[in-house]
Structure 1
Amino acid sequence: MTETLDLSPDELLTTTRTVRKRLDLERPVPMEVIRECLEIALQGPSGSNRQTWHWVVITDAEKRAAVGEYYRRAVEQYLAGPGAAGKLHAEDPERGPVQRRVGDSVAYLGERMGQVPVLVLPCLQARTLPAGNQSGLWGSILPSAWSFMLAARARGLGTAWTTLHLTYEQEVQELLGLPEDIRQTVLIPTAYSIGTDFKPAPRQPLDDVLHIDGW
């Protein structure tokens, strides 16, 4: 078992951040460590205990570069749009500077995704998507993806929750040889973090978003 950081449960939950600029692109990540994190992820919830998840771990340099190029194109399109992180709340004196830093870090990772040592792609087997309520479907994989990130943080790894690669979902599917009934979710770049001193992020006050017994 890999040595883990001395973090309380609350510290682990509040300091597992999206890491972009502090990913160590040069240090290899042993597959044993990735497997440990995935074993923990498999303890996540699964609707009706179906466990129809699959985890694609990409370490091949050429495939990482190819996925990274699709991600770079998607980031370029995203940053040019009105909803980009660096443009949201731009005039807000408190949130504006934070959002601009987020936009800068998104651009940074966009140029380097293909250089990250390990890319993890949680997938779900589903031949068709429900026409209505899909929360049960995605709820059977996304919590496990977060569990993977928590386990990685505990082992000194940095990760990021990214979805922009889905702009090129079909291309990535063909690149990786994924069957037609395999649905991609988040793309999680995984590397040792440069330093482990992450802190809770600024968030809205709880009372601004809390509703009890109704809206």
Structure 2
Amino acid sequence: MIGGMTELLPLDPDQLLTTTRSVRKRLDLERPVPLEIVRECLEIAMQAPTGSNRQGWHWIVVTDPDLRRSVADLYARSYRAYRDSATYAGSGDPSQSAERQATQARVSTSADFLADHMAEVPVLVIGAIHAGAELPAGNQAGLWGSLLPAAWSLQLALRARGLGSAWTTLHLSYEKEVAEILGIPPNVRQGVLLPVAWTKGTDFKPAHREPLDTVLHVDGW
């Protein structure tokens, strides 16, 4: 059965798509998340498209506190290195609009919070895909395009049920170590880590985005 009896929020499709945010500070770290709801959302996520209908995805759902702590420690280590790097965006480019800089500053503080509290999030979901021991050379869109749409569908299904998640990939700096902790075989490669929890309130709004015309190209660049 796809879906279940979990009560859904009164969101039309456009509202669902535009208000599904990366939630960090508003994750409820105290309220347990039933595994049945995660399974329900994964059933929906697995309706996403995959190349040649291979369905090579795998979902590692981590609820054990010790395992969550081990994964979270590696995530925090990677985050700290990223935070200290020259590529870290911080509060944003001074040439950007004031609104954009303010948004980046909020993202920065919420990312700090998540790195400090990842182990307390009730459920961690790692989306992975059967890829072979070595990733394909060149453009890998065909591979990851068979996993990441399903991960986004998972986030949408969670949001519709009052749960939140945050798209994270920094743990991939320690992909092998995480694989060893969780027993993931070497021919299955990780693509995303989603911390999952109920949210504190459900009143999320669309985020600021730059005007469409700054990135739109019709009939060529």
Query: Which bin holds the TM-score, normalised by the shorter protein?
Result: over 0.9
Cα distance in 2 for residues equivalent to 1:110 and 1:129: 28
Q: Which residue of 2 aligns with 1:145?
A: 151
Q: Secondary structure at the match of 1:202?
A: coil
Cα distance in 2 for residues equivalent to 1:19 and 1:140: 24
Q: Secondary structure at the match of 1:187?
A: strand
Cα distance in 2 for residues equivalent to 1:149 and 1:160: 8
1:178 partner letter: I
Q: CA deviation at 1:83?
A: 2.2
Cα distance in 2 for residues equivalent to 1:86 and 1:108: 14
Cα distance in 1 for residues equivalent to 2:88 and 2:141: 26
Instruction: Please say if residues 16 and 160 of structure 2, whose CA atoms lie closer than 8 Å, have aligned partners that are also in contact.
Output: yes
Q: CA deviation at 1:98?
A: 1.3
Q: CA deviation at 1:132?
A: 2.1
Instruction: Please say if residues 165 and 196 of structure 2, whose CA atoms lie closer than 8 Å, have aligned partners that are also in contact.
Output: yes
Q: Secondary structure at the match of 1:188?
A: strand
Q: Which residue of 1 aligns with 2:23?
A: 19
Q: Secondary structure at the match of 1:94?
A: helix
Q: CA deviation at 1:90?
A: 4.2
Moved more, 158-167 or 130-139: 130-139
Which of the numbers 97, 100, 104 marks the counterpart of 1:95? Answer: 100
Q: CA RMSD in A?
A: 1.0
Q: Which residue of 2 aligns with 1:200?
A: 206
Q: CA deviation at 1:166?
A: 0.6
- Residue by residue over 1:15-74, the C-alpha shift from the partner in whole angstroms, topping out at 9 and shown as x without a partner, is 000000000000000011001100001000111011111100000000001101111111
Q: CA deviation at 1:181?
A: 0.2
Cα distance in 1 for residues equivalent to 2:49 and 2:33: 27
Cα distance in 1 for residues equivalent to 2:94 and 2:209: 16
2:42 partner letter: L
1:211 aligns with 2:221: no
Q: Secondary structure at the match of 1:124?
A: strand
Query: Which ranges in structure 2 are unaligned for 5 or more consecutive residues?
Result: none
Instruction: Please say if residues 70 and 168 of structure 1, whose CA atoms lie closer than 8 Å, have aligned partners that are also in contact.
Output: yes
Q: TM-score, normalised by structure 1?
A: 0.97
**Inter-CA distance 214–85: structure 2 relative to 1 (3 Å threshold):** same
1:46 aligns with 2:44: no
Cα distance in 1 for residues equivalent to 2:218 and 2:121: 43
Q: CA deviation at 1:177?
A: 0.7
Q: Which residue of 1 aligns with 2:193?
A: 187
Query: Which ranges in structure 1 are unaligned for 5 or more consecutive residues?
Result: none
Instruction: Please say if residues 91 and 102 of structure 2, whose CA atoms lie closer than 8 Å, have aligned partners that are also in contact.
Output: no
- Residue by residue over 1:147-166, the C-alpha shift from the partner in whole angstroms, topping out at 9 and shown as x without a partner, is 00000000000100000001
Q: CA deviation at 1:172?
A: 0.3
Percent of paired sites with the same residue: 60
Cα distance in 1 for residues equivalent to 2:91 and 2:120: 27
Q: Secondary structure at the match of 2:192?
A: coil
- Residues matched between the structures, number: 215
Cα distance in 2 for residues equivalent to 1:96 and 1:47: 38
Cα distance in 2 for residues equivalent to 1:2 and 1:125: 31
Q: Which residue of 1 aligns with 2:8?
A: 4
